[in-house]
Structure formats: structure tokens, C-alpha cells
Amino acid sequence: MRLTPAQQQQFDREGYLFFPSLFTPEETRKLTDAVPELYERREAYNVREKGSEAVRTNFAAHMYSEPFARLARHPRMIEPVEDLFGEQLYMHQFKINGKMAFEGDVWQWHQDYGTWLNDDLMPTERAMNVAIFLDDVNEFNGPLMFIPGSHKKGVLEARHDLRTTSYPLWTVDNDLIRQLVERAGGRQGGIVSPKGPAGSMILFHSCLVHASTSNLSPFNRVSVYLSLCAVSNHIRRHKRPEYIAHRDFTPISCLPDDCLLKDYPVDLPWKDGLPASALQTSMDEFKLAA
């Protein structure tokens, strides 16, 4: 799937593109049916909510789950980002975020590149997220919120929040959020929240400021995020384990467009469990050297 010049201009202006119902119900079911078994696993790659068994984030499912390994090579997700960067991509992160009914906690206001820069030493913001809704997303179940055009501000000052939720983020100060929202239109469009049926897709810039509220509704809101990075822009530090920030910078080769409906062969290097190397970090190597 290739972007039109008008779509590229819209992305440059607003920092995101929304594609409602891009994947069919049959394609989406191939993914949703695989999630419960993944979430049940007692593995390091399942981060749970504070004080709860609900999964907040599942990492790296494309390394051990066939449906998600195929999704990681899907042209509808890969090709638009190649168009924007003019370069091949590698998978920096792969997440299945679970904003579960009654238990899904907030994601504070942040830029993804803020974390990728501070934790992983990614050189520039030539990386972005592509997300697919696995559930219908409405105003009740904690939809994503974006500040349009905030990516134009570049990397913002942020603090490392280690306390609010079970997963640490580099978060943006509330006063700066107020300024950004006012500049983007205040109550008239300063915050937008794409909502739609399962199978919808969002593509958004790594510097676009975004957040989501807790989910107090009885409706789950599970989404898959491919964090795609230009190969030339690969990370320079391995402070985080490999199941969170990947170290294989091989360019992604797309499968055919029907790859979610047909059993194309895919490599699953972690299907028998996480290797020890996936848990090691450069900090471990530093400790051993010391």
C-alpha cells in the first residue's frame, strides 16, 4: 500500500494518518484469536498493570507467534513508512498493548522518540509507529489522543516517570502540554482522537505527542504497534533487553498482501522460549567488565 502525495502532505502537516477498516474482519480475527494465549504466558515479555494480572504490553510477539510474524511483514503496514522515509526499515519494537476493560491504566503524555533517544540512543526521529485496532475503539475505552502538529516541535523536554504506571516513560510536563494544545487549536481541534472499528490503522510520527486515559468501560481496547525505524537510523545502545528494543537491523521483506489469510512460512526464532541473549543488556556487560 503506497501513500498518495496528498496523504504525505497531510502526514507532514498533522503528524498522523488514519485508515478506518483497513483490515477485514477475517484478517483481524486471525490476530485477535491469538492474543489470549499470548497474554496468559508468564514471561518477561508480558508487562502487567500495577496491582493487576491484566497485561499492559506484550512485547515481540512477531518472534514467537505465526499470525504476528506475518503481520510484521505486511505491506499495508510497511510500505507507507518506506514511502515517508525513502528507505528500508527494520523492526525496532513490536507491541500488543492491552487496555483491558475496567483495568487498563493511563499512558501519560509522551513522545515515543523521547524514549528511543534517551534509552536506546536512536540518532534521529526517522522512526514511527503503525497501529492496528484489534477491538472497536470508542470514546469510552481509552482511545489514543494526539496533539496535531506537535511533531513539528522536535524533541521536547521530558522526565523519566518510573512511578505512575508499571511501564516507565519519558513524559512531557503538563504546562507544556497546555501550550501545545492551545497552539494546535485549543478546544477546537487541539486534541484529536481517532476512533473506529477493529481493523482500522493509524500511522503516527515518533515525535507526535500522544496519550490515553484509563479504560473504565466494559470494553477491551487491544492494539498492535509496529515501531518501524529506517535501517540507517538503528539504535546505538542496548540499555534495554532485546525483547523490548530489537538489535537485528536486517531490512524487512514484505509478504504478499493476503499474508494474514494464508499460511506463508515465517521464521519464529523464539518459539521455544526467550533465549538468554534476549534478556541481556549493555548494562549487564558493563557490570561483568567492572
Q: How far apart are CA 79 and CA 134, in angstroms?
A: 20
**What local confidence, expressed as pLDDT, does residue 284 receive?**
60
> Quick one: average pLDDT of 123-139?
97
Which residues of the chain form beta strands (DSSP E)? Answer: 16-19, 46-48, 55-59, 89-99, 107-110, 127-133, 144-146, 159-161, 169-171, 201-205, 210-212, 221-230
Check whether 158 has a pLDDT greater than 80. Answer: no
**What local confidence, expressed as pLDDT, does residue 287 receive?**
44
Q: How far apart are CA 198 and CA 141, in angstroms?
A: 13
3-state helix, strand and coil shares in percent for the chain, rounded to the nearest 5: 30, 20, 50
Calculate the average pLDDT of the chain. Answer: 93
Q: What is the pTM of this model?
A: 0.92
> Using 50, 70 and 90 to split pLDDT, how confident is the model at 288?
very low
CB distance 142 to 99 below 8 Å: yes
- β-sheet bridge partners, residue 159: 171
- β-sheet bridge partners, residue 146: 192, 210
Q: In what order do the strands lie in the sheet with 169-171?
A: 144-146, 210-212, 107-110, 169-171, 159-161
Q: How far apart are CA 212 and CA 222, in angstroms?
A: 13
> Quick one: average pLDDT of 115-135?
96
Q: How far apart are CA 217 and CA 212, in angstroms?
A: 14
> What's the distance, CA 267 to chain centroid?
21
Percent over 70 (pLDDT), the chain: 97
CATH tag, 5-289: 2.60.120.620
- Give residue-wise pLDDT tens across range 7-55: 999 999 999 999 999 999 999 999 999 999 999 999 999 999 888 889 9
Q: How far apart are CA 194 and CA 18, in angstroms?
A: 7
Q: How far apart are CA 156 and CA 151, in angstroms?
A: 9
Helix, strand or coil, per DSSP, at residue 159: strand
Q: Locate cell 536486517: which residue?
A: 250
Give the residue, 161 or 66, on which the prediction is more confident. 66
Spell out the domain ranges in the chain.
5-289
Q: How far apart are CA 285 and CA 187, in angstroms?
A: 50
CB distance 23 to 196 below 8 Å: no
265: left (phi over 0), alpha (psi -120 to 50) or beta: beta
Q: Locate cell 528500508: which residue?
A: 88
**What local confidence, expressed as pLDDT, does residue 163 receive?**
75
> Using 50, 70 and 90 to split pLDDT, how confident is the model at 170?
confident
- Give residue-wise pLDDT tens across range 226-257: 999 999 999 999 999 999 999 999 999 999 99
* Cell representation of residue 157: 523536554
Check whether 223 has a pLDDT greater than 50. Answer: yes
> Using 50, 70 and 90 to split pLDDT, how confident is the model at 171?
confident
> Quick one: average pLDDT of 120-146?
96
> Quick one: average pLDDT of 272-278?
91
Check whether 192 has a pLDDT greater than 60. Answer: yes
